[in-house]
Amino acid sequence: MCEGMEVKICLIGMGNVGTCFLRLLKEKHDNIRVNFNFNCKLVAIFEHDGALIDNDGIDLDNLLEDYNNLRKNQYWKSNVKAQDLISTLDIDICIETTPTNPNTGEPALTHIIEALNNKIDVISSNKAPFYLHYKKIQDLAEKMNCLVKFEATVASCVPAISIRKSLIGNTISRIRAILNGTNNYILSRMATEGVSFSVALKEAQELGYAETDPSLDINGYDSAGKLVILSNELFGWSKSIEDVKIKGITKITPHALELAKLDGYVIKHLAISEENNLIVEPRLVKKDSPLNIQGTLNLIELQTKYAGSIILIGKGAGGFEAAAAILNDLISIVKKRRGF
Amino acid sequence: MIYLEVRLPDIPGSLIELIKPVSQNGGNIHGILHHHDKKINNMIPVNIWFELSEELIEVSLKNIKKGLMEKNIQLIKISVGSKNKILTFILTGHVFDTDITETIKRLDSKNIKVLELHAKFTEIDEISSVLMKVEFPEDMTKFELTNEIEKICKEKNLFLIRS
């Protein structure tokens, strides 16, 4: 791969993240060619009900003009599945962005395994396969001499995972993070407005910050999954979500927030990785602490041995944010394959 | 932090007599535990803990002891816990209905001293929140301390938020 100027990719899942990725790819096409010396050729797009496969490269202009053009295309095949066709494709990188079951990791897990079994590098924005089966995926990737990248799974475009290569001369001793924008928004509103949890949640739903079923967020499962991935990557562990002690935010009351405030604290839903322990729970944080961020932002604080605390803050969700992380992964895979 | 353990006669006004020499000698009282349930021969064990200015600690302690002796207050133990560590946490749930005094005593029995306590509630039998500041021994880790608090929380169905 990448010895010439063309990198062939397939996209599995053309939802919000997948579509944003294609838009970004189109926008950055010239930039990638000039700065990184390769062209990206999209040869397949898989959806739940079929696939568009064109070995000459799919016309992004036409496709992005109208999503319906996907199924109107002459190369569209109905009722075919990615896991059945990945082995038949001549591609270098498989990009996986399907909606995935948080408890099983499917169908993303199968797509990832299938791609790796066929010696195809993988980029994914799906958390579940990695917080459930991190070791299995990494072992297979190593065995097949493949690269697997998943920057978008933790805090989206905030370089939480890729910062590792910038800290190889240092030692990270602890991670403290706010990895769920919904929860941070709810707690911020409860603290500033004195509203109850249910009122703040409803507001978050109306603004589109929380899902109709917010249970994965408010019960801490989403943060726990991200913490597992981040800790495995930064500490070299092979843990799964079952190793995390998880507490959500549903039992936090306005009274608790008032008491915290009286003593100079705020309550934040923290994801903490320290001394081989993984914890997601509400914690009292000093009001003037850098962890006291507002709204839907994400934050990752890395306590390091030689440089103290290093903090990353940014938007942890959104289609283009995830898309930018995927594109980053794509460029880094190409660079690595070229020996950089 | 200074910890004082005394025996007081179970008569009105005796607690005031204990507090006087402490406060008159610059003691900033953080907490008092009155063990009515452990009364022996009409004498009640009382724990009191307070802060003293670092520079005056020796003189103040000497004067407090002298004041207690003058009032015939039986001094059992006095200790300076300056090396102890402090943790703040909030408990949410039926904190009062599940006997907050017993919660404090349970912590005390593990050498975890409640220094401060603030409460917020609408009705006494409704869900309430209590902020506690505790001091714990130097040889106890935060993890061990949290485990002790978690045990109580699990038993009493309370929700813990710690610093």
Selected for mutation to probe chain A from B94, B147, B161, B162 (highest A CB count within 10 Å) is B161
- Stretch 205-264 of chain A: residues touching chain B, C-beta under 8 Å: 247, 251-253, 255-256, 258-260, 262-263
- Cα-Cα-Cα-Cα dihedral of B145, B146, B149, B151, to 10°? -110
The candidate with the shortest Cα–Cα distance to B88, out of A256, A299, A308, A273, is A256
Does the CB of A267 have a partner CB in chain B at under 8 Å?
yes
Q: Are strands A93-96 and A121-124 parallel, antiparallel or unpaired?
A: parallel
Does the CB of B147 have a partner CB in chain A at under 8 Å?
no
Domains of chain A from N-terminus onward: 6-157+319-337 (3.40.50.720), 162-315 (3.30.360.10)
Domain B85-162: give its CATH code: 3.30.70.260
Tell me how close the Cα of B75 comes to any Cα of chain A, in angstroms. Answer: 33
Q: How many degrees, rounded to 5, is the angle at CA B48 between CA B44 and CA B52? A: 155
Residue A336 appears among annotated catalytic residues = no
DSSP character string of A81-104: -HHHHGGG---SEEEE-----TTT
Across the interface, whether the CB atoms of B92 and A255 are under 8 A apart is answered: yes
Q: Where in chain B is the domain with CATH 3.30.70.260?
A: 2-80, 85-162
Residues in chain B, overall count: 163
With a CB cutoff of 8 Å and minimum separation 6, the contacts of B85 are B135, B136, B137, B138, B140, B142
B3 touches B79 (CB < 8 A): yes
Burial (0-12, 13-18, 19+ Cβ within 10 Å), A156: buried
Over the stretch A85-137, which tens digit does the pLDDT of each residue have? 999 999 999 999 999 899 999 999 999 999 999 999 999 999 999 999 999 99
The 3-state DSSP composition of chain A as helix, strand, coil percent (nearest 5) reads: 40, 25, 35
The candidate with the shortest Cα–Cα distance to A172, out of A288, A271, A311, is A311
Across the interface, whether the CB atoms of A253 and B92 are under 8 A apart is answered: yes
Q: What are phi and psi of A181, to 5 degrees?
A: -65, -35
Does the CB of A265 have a partner CB in chain B at under 8 Å?
yes
What mean pLDDT comes out for the span B137-147?
90
Q: What is the pLDDT tens value at each position of chain A, 340 positions in all? A: 544 589 999 999 999 999 999 999 999 999 999 999 999 999 999 999 999 999 999 999 989 998 888 999 999 999 999 999 999 999 999 999 999 899 999 999 999 999 999 999 999 999 999 999 999 999 999 999 999 999 999 999 999 999 999 999 999 999 999 999 999 999 999 999 999 999 999 999 999 898 889 999 999 999 999 999 999 999 999 999 999 999 999 999 999 999 999 999 999 999 999 999 999 999 999 998 999 999 999 999 999 988 889 999 999 989 999 999 999 999 999 999 987 6
Task: Give the chain B residue whose CA is nearest to the CA of A265.
Answer: B163
Over the stretch A152-174, which tens digit does the pLDDT of each residue have? 999 999 999 999 999 999 999 99
How large is the ipTM?
0.87
Q: How many degrees, rounded to 5, is the angle at CA A157 between CA A156 and CA A161? A: 80
* Domain B2-80: CATH superfamily, name plus number: ACT domain (3.30.70.260)
From chain B, pick out residues whose CB is under 8 angstroms from the CB of A245: none
Q: How confident is the model at residue B59 (pLDDT cuts 50, 70, 90)?
A: confident
